Amino acid sequence: MTSSVLLDLEPLTAERFAAIERRVASLLHTTADVVITQGEALLPLEACLRGAARPGSTALNVVTGPYGQTFGGWLRDSGATVVDLEVPYHTAAAPEQVERALAEHPEIELVSLVHAEAATGNTNPVAEIGAVVRSHGALLMLDAVASVAAEPLLTDEWGVDLCVIGGQKAMGGPAGVSAVSVSDRAWDRIAANPHAPRRSYLSLLDWKERWIDAGRTALPHAPAQLEMLALEACIDRIEESGGLEASFARHLAAAAATRAGVTALTPPAEAGLRPYVPADRDAAPVATTVRVPESLDARELVSSALAAAQDGSPALPLAAGGGALAGEMLRVNHYGPDASPGSVLRVLAALAAALRSAGVPADLDAASAAAESIWSPDQ
């Protein structure tokens, strides 16, 4: 790439910025205001929670993976009392559990929830949980960074008040900008919170005042221009490759093929690789987490698989699990351009090689056939 492509650009106009916002709103199926935050997705997630939670209020934090843990910290920091609803990370939160928590704590005003967790590979039933939260009257904040473009995301229909996305997962786009939709109820709540960030990079109210209410005619500060153009380009690419439905189908197939493939690598009677999230229903289309047998260390297996795959082809979308799960779990990040048969089959081949060199027999033919049958069901 020549540097002029990156450097000698026309300024990004307010009009173009607003047009990109409208396209993000349509990805989210929302008529609410959308703010494209000029930083990675943790920026709007923190901005939402610090804006909506206030001292003396109570929030329900649904924890189904590491991001939920982070949200609990921000909520407590904002002075809110936090009720944590933690479910095992290889399952999903059930609407009944949320209903019970709300009934036990009628004072709950805000619920934070992650849609899909790329780190743990599970996905939550947001439509059902959203209905429960709406009938209680609380605000719902959803982290949809890992679900957008990988599975349906119906912000308005599901009653999501604050819906946060990032471009870096299934959209196959930039990590340096992110977006949040803000319902009227959420704006009212944040505006009524004397502790909501103001005159701050974390302030959604600043965007409302200086950008939205001012008619979207002048940007409040210099935009992250390259990242905005990359966001626009990745939305173009999604549209040109069949739209959201086609993107959902690619991610769903990649997840199903990975689940089938890793299971078939070792016979059922042997201790081998198994999907970390046992129920298909709870498995996120964006990424597949895999439990490694107790005799092996996931970090070593991943390094060995990555080394086996170093043949000049693109980087393998494979990583060891994070934090406490690093020894026992690995992740296949089959999202964006890697939501494809080629990427999944390369991961299976590398895992087969790594298993064999660790002394575990692996049947790559069976695994490849199981994965390929997902794309060609009549085989």
Ligand X SMILES: *Cc1c(COP(=O)(O)O)cnc(C)c1O
Given the rule CB under 6 A, which residues bind ligand X?
40-42, 67, 114, 117-118, 143, 145-146, 166, 168-169
Cα–Cα dist 247/254, whole Å: 11
Smallest gap from Cβ 40 to ligand X, in A, equals 5
Q: Least CB distance from residue 120 to ligand X, whole Å?
A: 9
**Full strand arrangement of the beta sheet holding 33-37:** 33-37, 178-182, 162-166, 139-143, 108-114, 58-63, 81-86
Residue with smaller CB distance to ligand X, 114 or 177: 114
Kindly state the smallest distance separating residue 115's Cβ from ligand X, in Å: 7
In contact, 370 and 256? CB cutoff 8 Å = no
Shortest CB 366 distance to ligand X, Å: 31
Q: Which is nearer to ligand X, 113 or 344 (CB)?
A: 113
Min dist CB 61 to ligand X, Å, is 14
Work out the burial of residue 204: count CB atoms within 10 Å of its CB; fewer than 13 is exposed, 13-18 middle, 19 or more buried. buried
Cβ-proximal residues to 301 (8 Å cutoff; 6+ apart), any chain: 292, 330, 351, 354, 355, 358
Pick between residue 27 and residue 146 the one whose CB is nearest to ligand X: 146
Rg (CA), the chain: 22
d(CA 150, CA 171): 8
- For the chain, what's the residue count? 379
What six digits make up the tokens of 87?
């479910």
Beta carbons of 342 and 375 less than 8 angstroms apart: no
Closest to ligand X by CB, 145 vs 153, is 145
**Of 40 and 227, which CB lies nearer to ligand X in the complex structure?**
40
- Between the alpha carbon of residue 299 and those of residues 160, 224, 324, the distances in Å are 37, 35, 12
Contact, 353 vs 306, CB < 8 A?
no
Q: 122 or 183, CB closer to ligand X?
A: 122
Minimum distance between the CB of residue 147 and ligand X, rounded to whole angstroms? 8
The smaller minimum CB distance to ligand X, of residues 151 and 264, is found at 151
CB of 278 to ligand X, least distance (A): 20
